[in-house]
């Protein structure tokens, strides 16, 4: 990384190195403006105060070798620093690690914890992991899971591995499988329906099936049937936001515990059986790693979800 001089209190202009290339601009800023809340970082991005090659940019933009980033002066005292992840959260994630090697780790992400902070959330999985391992030179998300979803989450420990795995992910070379409990007795099948993000419905931002949406394909295969509910094994061929939830609802079989796209009556029935969250769990992750070894990891259902399955089996066994 090289950096041009700047006047006192003025913006910095940072040239991105080959080693830094591939990371998102929001994460790049977070590493250089430590202690500044994510909400503040997203605000300066939205206002155009951060520039890449003299142009405005979006939080999702991935930096390229040689990009010149304008970082505005941000006073730490403008806002209170975001609360640090608690020791309890840090330990919970440490205990959730399923597999670890020098270049990556896989953990069984808990439901209810976002993968990263921002949008009113002080911290997520990646911030808590970094807090738990302050000596780690690099920790970054390879992919994402919705806040309500639990299961296999892959973290890169080297930037070169992050870039290689991101390329594989974009080519659809990851084998990602989920367990989802859906309403009704469903034979499943392939759902192909384009999805559009950022649709407003009653003031809430949702994802909808729209002709002008992005291509999305999901395969649902029944694993067990419980009268008015079916446990599905789900394969994602694309990785759109809320894809499993929206495709299941579009097919007429919404997920249990889904407060946004689900069925209130079905959710009420499952609450009576002890379901306290969305029933969506990333149970398997497989990929050929950059060193050409095979990664295959399975994440067990958390006890709360397994207890719901046990009660359904007792009722319909």
Residue positions annotated with a catalytic role? 146
Phi, psi of 273 (to 5 degrees): -95, 5
Residue 281, burial from CB neighbour count under 10 angstroms (0-12, 13-18, 19+): buried
Q: Rounded to an integer, what distance in angstroms lies between the CA atom of residue 12 and that of residue 74?
A: 11
CA atoms of 195 and 201, how far apart (whole Å): 15
Strand partners, 298: 284
Closest CA to 100 of 58, 44, 42, 139: 139
Backbone angles phi, psi at 260, to 5 degrees: -95, -45
Residue 79: is it exposed, middle or buried by C-beta count within 10 angstroms (0-12/13-18/19+)? Answer: middle
Strand ranges for 68-139 from DSSP E: 68-71, 97-101, 104-109
Between helices 38-46 and 25-32, what is the axis angle to 10°? Answer: 120
Residue 1 tokens, joined: 């990384």
DSSP 153-200: EEEESSHHHHHHHHHHHHTT--EEEEEEEEES----EEEE--EEEEEE
| Token pair belonging to 197 | 């993000």
Judging by DSSP bridges, how do beta strands 97-101 and 104-109 pair with one another?
A: antiparallel
Strand 195-201 to strand 294-298: parallel, antiparallel, or no bridges (unpaired)? unpaired
Is the alpha carbon torsion for 125, 131, 132, 133 positive or negative? positive
**Cβ–Cβ < 8 Å for 68, 15:** yes
């Amino acid at each position: 990384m090289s950096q041009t001089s700047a006047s006192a209190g003025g913006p910095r202009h940072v040239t991105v190195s080959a080693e830094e290339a591939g990371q998102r601009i929001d994460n790049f800023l977070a590493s250089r403006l430590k202690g500044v809340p994510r909400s503040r970082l997203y605000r300066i991005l939205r206002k155009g105060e951060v520039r890449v090659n003299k142009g405005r940019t979006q939080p999702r933009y991935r930096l390229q070798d040689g990009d010149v980033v304008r970082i505005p002066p941000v006073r730490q005292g403008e806002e209170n620093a975001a609360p640090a992840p608690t020791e309890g959260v840090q330990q919970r994630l440490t205990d959730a690690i399923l597999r670890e090697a020098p270049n990556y780790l896989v953990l069984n992400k808990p439901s209810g914890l976002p993968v990263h902070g921002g949008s009113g959330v002080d911290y997520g999985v990646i911030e808590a992991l970094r807090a738990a391992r302050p000596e780690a030179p690099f920790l970054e998300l390879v992919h994402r899971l919705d806040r309500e979803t639990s299961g296999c989450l892959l973290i890169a420990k080297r930037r070169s591995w992050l870039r290689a795995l991101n390329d594989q992910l974009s080519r659809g070379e990851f084998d990602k499988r989920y367990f989802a409990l859906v309403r009704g007795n469903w034979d499943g099948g392939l759902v192909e329906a384009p999805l559009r993000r950022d649709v407003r419905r009653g003031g809430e931002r949702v994802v909808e099936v729209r002709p002008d949406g992005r291509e999305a394909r999901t395969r649902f295969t029944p694993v067990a049937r419980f009268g008015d509910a079916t446990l599905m094994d789900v394969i994602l061929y694309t990785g759109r936001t809320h894809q499993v939830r929206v495709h299941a609802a579009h097919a007429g079989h919404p997920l249990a515990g889904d407060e946004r796209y689900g069925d209130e009556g079905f959710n009420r029935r499952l609450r009576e059986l002890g379901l306290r969250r969305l029933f969506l769990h990333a149970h398997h992750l497989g990929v050929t790693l950059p060193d050409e070894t095979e990664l295959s990891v399975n994440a067990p259902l958390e006890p709360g979800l397994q207890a719901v399955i046990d009660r359904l089996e007792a009722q319909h066994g």
